[in-house]
Chain A
Amino acid sequence: MKKIEAIIKPFKLDEVKAALMETGVQGMTVTETRGFGRQKGHTELYRGAEYVVDLIPKVKIEAVVPDALLEKAVIAITQSARTGRIGDGKIFVSDVADAVRIRTGERSEGAIS
């Protein structure tokens, strides 16, 4: 089992969600968040003075998937979230030790399928 954390542009959420569901991913958690990368945000202008908005609004998608699904899911996110411009986001993948479906007590991959 792997956990995918994808930080994407907020307006791409619907596309990424649809692409992930198409690959067979069963669930996800979405969070509004803020952050910056190499670009360190951008500048805005208000009443003649510039200011830096370094923490830009982003959406974070978390999904735990069976190992077999990982590559398909990562590709789906990459393709659907990409605009080709700065700020498209990042995907992080990590191992997940266990999972529990609270209602039934099912464990591991049984809990996420």
Chain B
Amino acid sequence: MSKWNRRAALTAALVLCALPAFAAGEATPDALEKFSAAASDLRIGVDTVWVLVTAMLVFWMNAGFALVESGLCQAKNTTNILAKNFIVFAASTISFWALGWGLMFGDGNAFAGLQGLFFLGGADNSPALGEAYAAMNPFSTTAYQGVYSAINWTPVPLWAKFFFQLVFAGTCATIVSGAVAERIKFGSFLVFSFLLVAFVYPITGHWIWGAGLLGANNFRDFAGSSVVHSVGGWAALAGILVLGPRLGKYGNDGKVHPIPGHSMTSAALGVFILWLGWFGFNPGSTMAAMNGTAIAHILVNTNMAAATGALGATVAAWVLLGKPDLSMILNGCLAGLVAITAPCAFVSIGSGAVIGLIAGVIAVLAVVGFDRVRVDDPVGALSVHLVNGIWGTLALGVFYDNDVATNIAALATGLSRGAQFLVQLKGVLYVGAFAFPFSMLFWYAIKLTMGVRVSREEEFEGLDVGEHGNQAYPDFATHASSFGGTGMPAHAEAHAIAMARTPAMAEP
């Protein structure tokens, strides 16, 4: 404790020199203490505002996911997809509160948290800081005491930490929604979301962010390319394999029959919202506002990779597929964002641009590749979150810069790029080896108890009516469900809607 008192006195004295109000002769120990306490409160307030506002931006990514996923699916399943994207954050909230947080951040062993497991019930005197993190709030005079020591480096109250981490857990769960869209039972999805956020997400999260077996051994993932995106991707892949492809997607002749999304307007708006939300996701992961250089570096790196990701996908689609398909450009932008999420605070801006560019190209190749092996992912969630979550995690090693890691992330490992890459590769394998089989286990358990897939008839008619009893667009009589499993081409539907509204048509 003596270290704390000494530091407080020192910083208070420094501040006093700069403030005329505290003339040297008038400064009493009492005044020093009061000033130090006020400065500490101010520091905590600023950091808390930063953490909560960026968390709100990440929360808003739910809207982005809802629009992207519904836009890239058929009109007849829109209500269902929106309902899934809406309810998944509600489920995550309860699940992460009840157990997820405790497993992830509770003190425990290398595998999982064991203390303060339920409802954040463990002791915790946040925003007090761990001994090693005194620099995060030089005015604080108390040291951290509690059971969530893995996250005692950020000078914010416990509930701010919880909400920030919750929106990340929610993002992981919502990734699954798009991949399993247009054929999964609503109730089964809901149950899986609870299980994912209660068990799978927090355990791999503990390994990396909870002082577990990876984070404690030089593995680095700044904002969650692995923790959030790969884990969501593995869970999604397991779901797709248990469900099988949508009816009519793959012909017996081996041909891929595309099922075009019903609104590119929704999809594009959704990706803009996600791009904006990522400015909370990555820069907010500093979980403190005072290192302006770090926040700026991370934000620009994030934007850089989004931009080059979009450009990379544009060029790749144009060259390889013949046209710059908008849905590919959107996936490419998201791929860049996912890929830069781990390395944003460990690599230079130039490296960020290269990481994003490669991510955009990978996204296009992955979409085509998954179709070739008949893994039906309606929105490209695997190509974006799984494949590029892995790429981003590895890219941290490939482009690792110890100066950036020291000044921006403050999590330098001192390793060479080659060595860091091997550590990252090991982490990728560990995460996959846990997240994929455990998700599979949960999916099978759900399949055996309540079933996962809607009936063939319901799939043809649309899940809107089958699962929820009504349609997303009841006035648009032109897209009758009879267009069925092959889907109605988006342009035809848009045209039909436009024609229905032409005044000339109204009075024959």
Partners in one complex: yes
A residues neighboring B (CB under 8 Å)? 10, 13-14, 17, 27-30, 32, 34, 44-51, 53, 55-57, 59
Contact B504 A48 (CB under 8 A): no
Query: Known: A32-B478, A57-B499. Contact between A49 and B256, CB under 8 A?
Result: yes
Instruction: List 12 A-B residue pairs with CB atoms under 8 Å apart, sorted by A's residue number.
Output: A28-B508, A30-B504, A32-B478, A32-B499, A45-B323, A46-B258, A47-B325, A47-B368, A48-B256, A48-B321, A48-B371, A53-B491
Chain A residues closer than 8 Å to B492, beta-carbon distance: 34, 53, 55-57
CB of A43, distance to nearest CB on chain B (Å): 11
CB of A95, distance to nearest CB on chain B (Å): 22
Chain A residues closer than 8 Å to B260, beta-carbon distance: 44, 46, 51
CB of B28, distance to nearest CB on chain A (Å): 72
Q: How many B residues touch the partner, as a band?
A: 20 to 34
Chain B residues closer than 8 Å to A55, beta-carbon distance: 492
Give the dominant DSSP class at B's interface.
helix
* Cβ contact of A48, chosen from B368, B495, B499, B502, cutoff 8 A: B368
CB of B315, distance to nearest CB on chain A (Å): 15
Chain A residues closer than 8 Å to B508, beta-carbon distance: 27-30
Contact A57 B325 (CB under 8 A): no
Contact A14 B504 (CB under 8 A): yes
Contact B371 A47 (CB under 8 A): yes
* Assembled-state Cα–Cα distance A27/B508 (Å): 8
Contact A47 B328 (CB under 8 A): yes
Chain B window 69-99, contacts with chain A (Cβ cutoff 8 Å), 1 for yes, 0 for no: 0000000000000000000000000000000
Contact A57 B367 (CB under 8 A): no
Could you list 12 further interchain pairs (A-B, Cβ under 8 angstroms) beyond the known A17-B504, A45-B321, A53-B489?
A27-B508, A30-B504, A32-B478, A32-B499, A44-B491, A45-B325, A48-B325, A48-B368, A49-B258, A53-B491, A56-B492, A57-B495
Chain B residues closer than 8 Å to A29, beta-carbon distance: 508
Chain B window 473-508, contacts with chain A (Cβ cutoff 8 Å), 1 for yes, 0 for no: 000001000000000010110011001101011001
Task: Tell whether B204 is near chain A: CB-to-CB under 8 Å.
Answer: no
CB of A25, distance to nearest CB on chain B (Å): 13
Chain B residues closer than 8 Å to A10, beta-carbon distance: 495, 499
Chain B residues closer than 8 Å to A56, beta-carbon distance: 492
Task: Tell whether B257 is near chain A: CB-to-CB under 8 Å.
Answer: yes
Chain B residues closer than 8 Å to A27, beta-carbon distance: 508
CB of B261, distance to nearest CB on chain A (Å): 8
Task: Tell whether B20 is near chain A: CB-to-CB under 8 Å.
Answer: no
Chain A residues closer than 8 Å to B321, beta-carbon distance: 45, 48
Scan residues 305-328 of chain B and give those whose CB is less than 8 A from a CB of chain A.
317, 320-323, 325, 327-328
Chain A residues closer than 8 Å to B367, beta-carbon distance: 47-48
Contact B328 A32 (CB under 8 A): no
Task: Tell whether B380 is near chain A: CB-to-CB under 8 Å.
Answer: yes
B residues neighboring A (CB under 8 Å)? 256-261, 317, 320-323, 325, 327-328, 364, 367-368, 371, 380, 478, 489, 491-492, 495-496, 499-500, 502, 504-505, 508
* Assembled-state Cα–Cα distance A30/B321 (Å): 39
Query: CB-nearest residue of chain A relative to B379?
Result: A47
* Assembled-state Cα–Cα distance A30/B508 (Å): 6
* Assembled-state Cα–Cα distance A57/B483 (Å): 14
CB of A13, distance to nearest CB on chain B (Å): 6
Query: Known: A14-B504, A29-B508. Contact between A49 and B257, CB under 8 A?
Result: yes
Query: Known: A17-B504, A46-B260, A46-B325. Contact between A32 and B496, CB under 8 A?
Result: yes
Contact B327 A47 (CB under 8 A): yes
Query: Known: A45-B325, A47-B258. Contact between A57 and B504, CB under 8 A?
Result: no
Query: CB-nearest residue of chain A relative to B380?
Result: A47
Chain A residues closer than 8 Å to B478, beta-carbon distance: 32
Contact B258 A57 (CB under 8 A): no
Chain B residues closer than 8 Å to A50, beta-carbon distance: 258
Chain B residues closer than 8 Å to A14, beta-carbon distance: 504
Q: Considering the complex of A and B, which 4 residue pairs feature the smallest CB-CB distances, nearest first?
A: A46-B258, A49-B256, A48-B368, A29-B508
CB of B428, distance to nearest CB on chain A (Å): 26
